[in-house]
Amino acid sequence: MKGKTLLYLSIVLSMMLAVVPMSSVKGSPATVLSIEPPLVEDTVPVCNNFTVDIYVTDVVGLWAWKVNLTWDPAVLEVLEVTEGPFLSGQASPTAFVVAPFDPATGFIPEISCGSIKVPAKTATGSGVLATVKFHVIAPGECDIVIKDTVMIGPPPSMDPLVYTVEIGHFKLSPPPPTSPEAIFTPLTCTMVYVGDWVTLDGRASTDGWDTLPDPPGGHTVDINDYKWLIDFLNGTTVEMHGDYIPDAFQCDKPGDVAITLTVNATDPLQPDHSDYEPIDSETHTIHQASKPMGVVIDVYTEKGGEGLGINWDADPPVQWPWSTAWSDAFAPQEEVTVYAKVTYNNDSVQNKPVAFEVKDETGTGVVYRTVFTDADGIASFTFRLIWECNKTFTTNYEVWEIWASVSVSEIEKLDVVKFRYGWLVQIEEIDAPGQVDKPVKPENFVAFEVTLLLKNLIHWPSNNKAVYITVVVYDVCGVPIAVAKVPDLLVPEDAYYWDPIFTLLVPPWTYRGTGMIYANIFTGAPQDGGVPVCSEVSTPIWLGRP
């Protein structure tokens, strides 16, 4: 009965909104009915979703509203429209109506909402009237338009409100000429037990995009062949075809297997752009290991380290076989969550006490805990990394270890995971000229380059974060004469001696003498709450002619 009442009220509301004469509007001229955000540009790739709000700003006495919505159906698709909290928050209950629509037409004939509270209530202020969820179909550009809009005050007069309408805009630039990319599982370092079957899955590979012969946009070039080459590294190779091959091969004995996927996306439309390469290959090396029987304990952190691992200390990193698993790196005073999974013949062992020991760079035990395994056979605890007041890293990072041991049926087993502890992004060195002359007329300044040699301890991209890098130059009197900053730079994970180069300018009013260059890395601008990511690094520089 209540549903029928709402439906009836909705129909009545639509009819009332439909007959409001636009010529009689009056009210606050500051009111704006808009799409928020007004511009979505190159932030949402194809096959992803985003939302925009139908937003009202500075409205007074809103009782009901109505819009229709248009977009380019070749670029976007509407997935759903939901009511926003603005009207329902102040004038509940409300009747929210989205007229049936065909996504292929790029048009919703009506989105409306009105308060059905008796006596009538209205909403005042700013807020979200409705939220529209879009799906990106293809690169392109289109307006997101609200038209035939109506906003009215409460009955009985139902005066139309005065407002302006602002539309939204979506833009997704077509990609540059992009070769196909071979992406597949199993990933490098995946551990497979002898006797297990290995499934090859290359469905994550990306198609190519060629911009010839049809600029300005371009076209997708589908991958037309997936070629797998299984190299058992003993002279035996097997070739297969297909994007997904369940149970492709069976591991027979401990050792490594190199798997190479070659994808071919030859463009039938010729010519190709010279930057377009139709073939891409990727090789992963997996490790076959004997299936552990009996009691097994595996210790790791929330940043990885399950099973066997990689030694990132080696250059290049040593992969299989390696006796110690490595977690990703941790920053000073960061909280570490430690897990230890206990199994017996691959079955979880519950309610067993597990001993943990955390050892610092010097091998000194700094944390000892006993934790019982849960229903999944996992014991876990947390600790925050020690940060002494006078802490300095003797090298650019330390290596810490977490040990875990357990006894099942008087069979004692232990495991260890290591991690790097230090400034996650750090300045190794400042490379700058020893001397820069002061400008001599007619020059207004003299430019010189400062190169920062950066290191990023983070290994997994998901743990990587953009940083705020600054370089400032003082002259001999302590006067800052030049500054440069990059507010949101992403240093590639595992980067070693990554080298952004700043061009700085010496002004003529520089005092002659030995100045200093200071380089800093923050999580953000200090005024926005950014904090240091690492120690400041400085180097002297002679400013002026000797």
Q: Which helix (H) or strand (E) holds 448?
A: strand 446-456
Give 213's DSSP letter.
S
Instruction: Encode 390-437 in three state secondary structure.
Output: CCCCCCCCEEEEEEEEEEECCEEEEEEEEEEECCCEEEEEEECCCEEC
125, 94 in Cβ contact below 8 A? no
Q: How many CB atoms lie within 10 A of CB 105?
A: 11
42 lies in the binding site for another protein (CB under 8 A): yes
483 lies in the binding site for another protein (CB under 8 A): yes
Out of 31, 115, 178, 520, point to the residue binding another protein (CB under 8 A).
178
Question: Measured from the CB of residue 502, what is the shortest distance to another protein in angstroms?
Answer: 6
Cα–Cα distance, 124 to 127 (Å, whole number): 9
141 lies in the binding site for another protein (CB under 8 A): no
Binding region for another protein (CB under 8 A) out of 52-60, 186-194, 328-336, 489-497: 489-497
Question: Measured from the CB of residue 441, what is the shortest distance to another protein in angstroms?
Answer: 6
232 lies in the binding site for another protein (CB under 8 A): no
Cα–Cα distance, 114 to 122 (Å, whole number): 9
Q: Which is nearer to another protein, 476 or 486 (CB)?
A: 486
Site string for another protein, 197-226 (x = CB under 8 A): ---------x----x---xx-x--------
What's the token pair of residue 4? 């029928």
Query: Residues 261 to 290: which contact another protein by CB under 8 A?
Result: 271, 273-275
Question: Measured from the CB of residue 286, what is the shortest distance to another protein in angstroms?
Answer: 24
How many residues can be counted in the chain?
Answer: 546
Cα–Cα distance, 221 to 219 (Å, whole number): 6
Binding region for another protein (CB under 8 A) out of 149-157, 313-321, 394-402, 502-510: 502-510
Out of 38, 109, 176, 213, point to the residue binding another protein (CB under 8 A).
176
446 lies in the binding site for another protein (CB under 8 A): yes
Out of 500, 516, 532, 540, point to the residue binding another protein (CB under 8 A).
500
Q: Which is nearer to another protein, 290 or 503 (CB)?
A: 503
Instruction: Decide: helix, strand or coil at residue 98.
Output: strand
Question: Measured from the CB of residue 488, what is the shortest distance to another protein in angstroms?
Answer: 6
Instruction: Decide: helix, strand or coil at residue 295.
Output: strand
Q: Which is nearer to another protein, 17 or 453 (CB)?
A: 453
Instruction: Decide: helix, strand or coil at residue 7.
Output: helix
Out of 447, 513, 536, 545, point to the residue binding another protein (CB under 8 A).
447
Give the angle 503-534-451 at the CA atoms, nearest 5°. Answer: 20
Out of 141, 313, 443, 536, point to the residue binding another protein (CB under 8 A).
443
Q: How far is CA 108 from CA 32, 65, 185, 207, 409, in A?
A: 21, 15, 42, 33, 68
Cα–Cα distance, 61 to 155 (Å, whole number): 11
Measured on CA atoms in the order 469, 475, 476, 478, is the torsion positive or negative? Answer: negative
Q: 103-106: long-range contacts (C-beta < 8 A, 24 or more apart)?
A: 103/73, 103/77, 103/78, 104/73, 105/73, 106/70, 106/71, 106/72, 106/73, 106/76
Q: Which is nearer to another protein, 115 or 456 (CB)?
A: 456
Cα–Cα distance, 132 to 114 (Å, whole number): 18
Q: Which is nearer to another protein, 165 or 490 (CB)?
A: 490
Instruction: Decide: helix, strand or coil at residue 374.
Output: coil
Question: Measured from the CB of residue 271, what is the shortest distance to another protein in angstroms?
Answer: 8
Task: Say if strands 64-70 and 140-152 run parallel, antiparallel, or are unpaired.
Answer: antiparallel
Cα–Cα distance, 34 to 86 (Å, whole number): 14
502 lies in the binding site for another protein (CB under 8 A): yes
Number of residues this chain uses to bind another protein (CB under 8 A)? 48
444 lies in the binding site for another protein (CB under 8 A): yes
501 lies in the binding site for another protein (CB under 8 A): yes
Q: Which is nearer to another protein, 181 or 231 (CB)?
A: 181
Question: Measured from the CB of residue 219, what is the shortest distance to another protein in angstroms?
Answer: 12
Binding region for another protein (CB under 8 A) out of 100-108, 126-134, 169-177, 377-385: 169-177
Task: Say if strands 164-166 and 32-36 run parallel, antiparallel, or are unpaired.
Answer: parallel
181 lies in the binding site for another protein (CB under 8 A): yes
169 lies in the binding site for another protein (CB under 8 A): no
226: left (phi > 0), else alpha (psi -120 to 50), else beta? beta
Question: Measured from the CB of residue 413, what is the shortest distance to another protein in angstroms?
Answer: 41
486 lies in the binding site for another protein (CB under 8 A): yes
Out of 441, 529, 531, 546, point to the residue binding another protein (CB under 8 A).
441
Binding site residues, another protein, CB under 8 A: 42, 173-179, 181, 206, 211, 215-216, 218, 271, 273-275, 441-447, 482-490, 492, 498-505, 507-509, 525, 527
